[in-house]
């Protein structure tokens, strides 16, 4: 008996394979630390955007550790991933420096400058 392949699959449906692939940025990030085999697991855990790592503080990295441990990833590999994530994080001091700083010129000094400029 010949098998009818047309019955086993609906060939009219299309599948976007790019949706099932991990983002190339994540794969590249993990490839950079020699652990690309975990890209699918990180996506499954919801960690698919490496730009989010910039905002990971210590509690967020602790939560990531727990979730990776739940996936039975070896401890050394988890440590390596967490070090790479921490390296991408924007330090608190740096993020505060990026915010506008209040003026250090006193109001009386500013008033004096205005007064001097009005006579020139």
Residue identified by tokens 């085999």 is: 37
Whether 65 contacts 82, CB under 8 Å: yes
30: in domain = yes
Task: Examine residue 3 and state whether it is found in any structural domain, yes or no.
Answer: no
Residue 10 lies inside a defined structural domain of this protein: no
24 falls within a domain: yes
Collapsed DSSP state (helix, strand, coil) of residue 106: coil
What domain range is 76 assigned to? 19-95
- Is residue 67 included in any domain, yes or no? yes
Which stretches of the chain drop beneath a pLDDT of 70?
1-20, 92-120
Q: Is the distance from CB of 89 to CB of 54 less than 8 angstroms? A: yes
* pLDDT confidence of residue 80: 97
With the CA atoms of 53, 54, 55 and 59 taken in that order, what torsion angle do they form, in degrees rounded to the nearest 10? Answer: 50
Helices 75-88 and 58-70: crossing angle in degrees, nearest 10, is 150
pTM of the model: 0.62
The total number of structural domains that make up the chain: 1
Return the pLDDT at 9: 52
pLDDT reported for residue 17: 46
* Structure-token pair, residue 73: 């990833």
Residue 79, token pair as written in the block: 């440590």
In a domain, 4, yes or no: no
The answer to whether residue 100 is domain-embedded is no
Q: Taking a C-beta distance cutoff of 8 angstroms, is the pair 41, 78 a contact? A: no
pLDDT for 19 equals 60
Q: Which segments of the chain does DSSP mark as H helices, in order?
A: 24-32, 39-44, 58-70, 75-88, 92-97, 107-118
């Amino acid at each position: 008996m010949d098998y009818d392949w047309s019955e086993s699959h609906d060939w009219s449906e299309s599948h976007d394979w790019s949706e099932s692939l991990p983002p190339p940025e994540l794969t590249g990030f993990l490839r950079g630390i020699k652990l690309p085999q975990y890209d699918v697991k990180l996506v499954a855990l919801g960690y698919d955007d490496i730009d989010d790592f910039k905002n990971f503080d210590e509690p967020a990295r602790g939560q990531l550790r727990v979730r990776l441990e739940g996936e039975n990833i070896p401890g050394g590999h988890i440590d390596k991933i967490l070090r790479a994530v921490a390296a991408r994080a924007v330090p608190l001091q740096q993020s505060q420096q990026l915010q506008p700083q209040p003026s250090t010129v006193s109001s009386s000094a500013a008033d004096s400058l205005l007064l001097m400029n009005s006579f020139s």
